[in-house]
Amino acid sequence: MIVAAAIKHYYRVAPAIVKGLNNMPYSDFIYHYIYKNLVDKCVKLIESGNYEMAYYRYKRSVLNFEKKFVTQARKQNTEQTQLEQFSR
């Protein structure tokens, strides 16, 4: 059930992570980096039967992305809302 909870969490935060990534100046570079250093490596770990390491790498990465991009997106949304309220 731990894996199911992690997947559910991912689907909840993924849209905000993508939004945050898309707002970065070098998002193409970042997506390429994620593919090479997360997706590709996790696939190789799974193919070699190292499921626990693949899960650990995936989970750690999602939590780091959430910390960086979701927190940043929430801060920007809060600032935008405050600015809109002030300008009324």
- Residue 22 one-letter amino acid: N
Token reading at 22: 């898309």
Q: What is the pLDDT of residue 10?
A: 86
How far is Cα of residue 50 from the mean position of the Cα atoms in its chain? 22
**Full domain range(s) for residue 47:** 2-86
User: Domains in the chain: how many in total?
Assistant: 1
Condensed to tens digits (0 to 9), the pLDDT of residues 53-76 reads 999 999 999 889 888 887 766 666
Which portions of the chain are predicted below pLDDT 50? none
- Which of 65, 62, 81 minimizes the C-alpha distance to 24? 65
Q: What is the pLDDT of residue 83?
A: 56
How many degrees, rounded to 5, is the angle at CA 71 between CA 60 and CA 79? 170
- Which of 10, 5, 20, 12 minimizes the C-alpha distance to 72? 20
Q: What is the pLDDT of residue 69?
A: 81
Q: What is the pLDDT of residue 68?
A: 85
Whether the full predicted model's pTM is greater than 0.95, yes or no, is: no
